[in-house]
Amino acid sequence: MALRCLLVDNDARFLESAKLLLTREGVEVDTAVSGAQALHRIGVLRPDVVLLDIHLGTESGFSVVRDIHAAWPTDGPAECGASIILISTYSEGDYRRLIEASPVLGFIAKSSLSAHTIREVLGRRR
């Protein structure tokens, strides 16, 4: 069974290229461009993983994480099967404390994004 992924980013060019890359690697990818759209799609699609940009236009990815967890209060997005992984063009070190303090599973630099790195982070489930 293919890994189902919701990729959330406000950059259309990144969404297109990342979706193409991950699809070629056997990942089923749907996209969202905002936190509100991500919340809706998580409920409908029930993805295995949500890849969420830290800088989502005018929204903070960390705020979107809180909104997602508020929408599924019992067990967060895991309630519907999803793990959240933050992504960014910035390095993990720039956000290490915020990432560690949040309920996300981990972080992947956009330059390292692949089906392999996603599965690697998913293997570290809390």
pLDDT tens string 35-72: 999 999 998 999 999 999 999 989 999 999 999 888 87
Asked if residues 98 and 125 have their Cβ atoms less than 8 Å apart, the reply is no
Task: Give the pairing type, strands 55-56 and 106-109.
Answer: unpaired
Looking at residue 73, what is its pLDDT?
61
Whether the per-residue pLDDT at 30 is higher than 80: the answer is: yes
Distance from the first to the final alpha carbon of the chain: 22
Neighbours of 59 (CB within 10 A): 18
φ, ψ for residue 5 (rounded to 5)? -130, 140
Q: What does the pLDDT read at residue 126?
A: 45
Rounded to 5°, the CA angle 32-37-43 comes to 105
Mean pLDDT of 94-102: 86
